Structure 1
Amino acid sequence: MQNSKISVQDICSIAIMTAITAVMAQISIPMPMGVPLTMQTFAVTLSGIVLGARRGAISMIIYVLLGAVGVPVLAGFSGGFQHFIGPTGGFLLSFPVMAYLIGVGTKLRKQKGMFLLFLIFGTAANYAVGVLMFCILMKASFWTGFTACVLPFLPTAVIKAAAASVLGLKLQVRLGEVMQWT
């Protein structure tokens, strides 16, 4: 995107990724410590890859705002501000940063290792903010937060990131780079 204007195509693409995230949030498996396994992070990763840093972050800001005002886009067809100030709120709040970082990596993908590095940075940012908020609100140690919020999810995080990367990069090729990724 050469200028800062958002086109109709941008708006539609952002809306589609926001909607995909809302749908993927409904694929949720409850976990013992209260942090569910969802497909939201798959959608956030896909958003950063397909839309790029700026649009990917915008789509996640819209998703977070919709959830915060009560639209049932979060896991379990829920919504409301209470989800953002609870133990899993940090994960949700970090979605725009995660999409942005992954989008930056997508733009740098021709530089050896940069895409993977930013994919890891984006995922790590999601975990860091999520664990921090979990630990503060639950008055838990870092180790407790790590074992509740990260350790059980690492295998699926790798699988979701790999699948979103393969799909997202293929979508870019199929779209023929119609949009100039930012």
Structure 2
Amino acid sequence: MSQAAAKNTQSSKFSVRDICYTGLFAAVIAVMAQISIPMPLGVPMTMQTFAITLAAVVLGSKLSAMASLVYLILGAVGVPVLASFSGGIDKFVGPTGGFLISFPLMAYLIGLGVEHRNAFKGAFPLAVVVGTVVNYIVGVILFVIVAHSTVAVAISACVLPFIPTAIIKAVLACAIGLNIRKRIPGLKA
């Protein structure tokens, strides 16, 4: 191997392990997206946010954001990985598109919290709340635009029915994720 090739290999930002974990969690998100309960105003209750939070807790900020981005790219090009085995770019400009679009940011924010949980007391729970709120805000904004809705209707359709399950999913994802994180070599427990 030439020196230039060796240098490029060493300076790579992602290791093979990182790429594998990213792909694995993109697949986890895709599988969890299929657990979907239709809701009256068109925004289904899915396990996607559970999977995004789980990825963030296990992988941290950068890799979880990449995993969610890989998932979204697959969905955008038409691979049926989105809720109800759907895919296509139209899903990103529909009433639920804002929730999808915000997944990488949600994962990144929660991942930052888990990475800094020992340095700053309360960083982790705060990051989970902030990441979830960002998901809701972006989702509500696009719902208002696409559905020509009021903010009040959007909050009624996109936020209020989901708060109890969001809390349960976040707590479970954090507990499971921290447990998994301890068992993966190379990740800080």
Q: 2:22 maps to what in 1? A: 14
Residue identity over aligned pairs, in percent, reads 54
Amino acid at match of 2:109: L
Which residue is 2:98 aligned to?
Answer: 90
Counterpart pick for 1:37 among 33, 40, 45:
45
Residue type of the alignment partner of 1:95: F
Give distance in 1, aligned partners of 2:22 and 2:124.
Answer: 21
Q: Does 2:74 match 1:66?
A: yes
Instruction: Name the larger-Rg structure.
Output: 2
1:56 aligns to what?
A: 64
* Structure 1 segments (4+ residues) deviating >4 Å: none
1:140 corresponds to which residue?
Answer: 149
- The equivalent residue for 2:140 is 131
2:52 is aligned with what amino acid?
A: V
C-alpha distance in structure 1 between counterparts of 2:86 and 2:146, whole Å: 20
The reply on whether 1:163 has 2:161 as its aligned counterpart is: no
List per-residue Cα deviations over 1:34-68 (Å, max 9, x = no partner): 00000000000011111110111011111111000
- What TM-score does the superposition give when structure 2 sets the normalisation length? 0.91
Q: Sort the Cα spacing of 1:132 and 1:168 in 2 relative to 1 into closer, same or farther, 3 A.
A: same
TM-score computed with the length of structure 1 as normaliser: 0.95
Return the letter of the residue paired with 1:87. P
Deviation of 1:179 after TM superposition, in Å, equals 3.3
RMSD over aligned Cα atoms: 1.2
